[in-house]
Amino acid sequence: MNIHAKRIKDLQYMLKQNALDGLLMGRTLEIGFLTGFHLDDCVMLVTRSGAWVFMPKMFVDQFRSKIDFAVAVAADNAENCAAAKVKELKLKRAAFEPDSETYTRGTAWRKAGLIEKGGLTAALRAVKEGEEIELMRKSCRIAAKAFRLVKPHIKTGCTEMSVYRRLEDVMQAMGAKGPSFNLIVGFGPDSAMPHHETSERRLKNNEAVLLDYGCVYGHYCSDITRTYFHGRPTDEFKKIYGIVAAAQKAGVAKVKHGVRTRAVDAACRDLIADAGYGQYFMHGTGHGVGLEIHEFPRLNTTVEATLRAGMTVTVEPGIYLFGKFGVRIEDSVLVTRTGCEILTKTA
């Protein structure tokens, strides 16, 4: 069975499990995931027994030439036509996912009688299979290789933004569509801000360098962070780096099918806390990554979820000493039955 047809079948099964008659989707990402058709201005309706995509007339022939498991419907106003189809089919419990819709569309669909039900397609996307895994591997290999190619060019006097641009250029030269998020390049004290906005600050001798970046390849995102010291590392930096490296190793070792996500977070967090730096690790240990840079599941202290083989997640503990430096080490990993595969190896 075609992988996209299988995904629609899986979603139809989820509809039955959740006592829903149908699901409306208006975001390109979900429609592309389910059909392989990645074009804007479309709306998709999946019921327990069928699937329709409402689209501008100019897309219809292209869609029909590639896809026979969903019905293409020419529509001047895709949202209105989809809502009308729900009414025509007399779907009593049709839903939409509020987290993936615009405020305007969500408001219109609520008025049309649809209910809100989040997390269905996110759960479906969480476990990768087939070509998805190969695309994730390729995206991550590009990002990992970029570090090896760019690091020799990071020298005293260069700006954070110049490194940002070089990372982008190098990844695109290897086939990436573009960056998977606004890349973070932080020198010295800038590295101590987890969500630092890359600036024109110049690198000085004997400073920390933090690179948090990734790319998009075949619609799939990679995410990696590397930290190192430019010059002669201080004893304090070596100590902090050693703690974070040990925590990240412990977290990666914990990743396995059937393991609770909170257990992975605890493996990293407890080691850092035991070393006396618990208050300086102020974010979750990781997150799912795939078609979006942040996906289900989250690996933190509050989310209750279980890892499944085929999930791709990040493991990224850090310690941030404000005004001095920060250290974060992050890898994207593929969950397997026996452990995990590190997708972003740089050594």
Residues 217 and 328 in one domain: yes
Residues 280 and 181 in one domain: yes
Q: Which DSSP category does 98 fall into?
A: G
Residues 38 and 120 in one domain: yes
pTM strictly above 0.85: yes
Say whether 164 sits in a helix, a strand or coil.
helix
Number of domains in the chain: 2
In a domain, 178, yes or no: yes
Interatomic CA distance for residues 194 and 283, integer angstroms? 8
Residues 111 and 188 in one domain: no
Residues 120 and 177 in one domain: no
pLDDT of residue 39: 86
Q: How many Cβ atoms sit within 10 Å of the Cβ of residue 315?
A: 28
CATH code of the domain covering residue 28:
3.40.350.10
Residues 291 and 198 in one domain: yes
Mean pLDDT value of segment 154-181: 98
Instruction: Evaluate whether 32 touches 38 at the Cβ level (below 8 Å).
Output: yes
Range of the domain at 293: 131-342
The chain-wide mean pLDDT, for the chain, equals 96
Residues 299 and 333 in one domain: yes
pLDDT of residue 92: 94
In a domain, 347, yes or no: no
The pLDDT tens digits of the residues spanning 70-102 come to 999 999 999 999 999 999 999 999 999 998 888
The pLDDT tens digits of the residues spanning 22-76 come to 999 999 999 999 999 998 899 999 999 999 999 999 999 999 999 999 999 999 9
The pLDDT tens digits of the residues spanning 318-329 come to 999 999 999 999
Residues 103 and 151 in one domain: no
Interatomic CA distance for residues 233 and 252, integer angstroms? 26
Pick from 125, 154, 179: which residue ends a domain? 125
Q: How many residues does the chain have?
A: 347
pLDDT of residue 230: 98
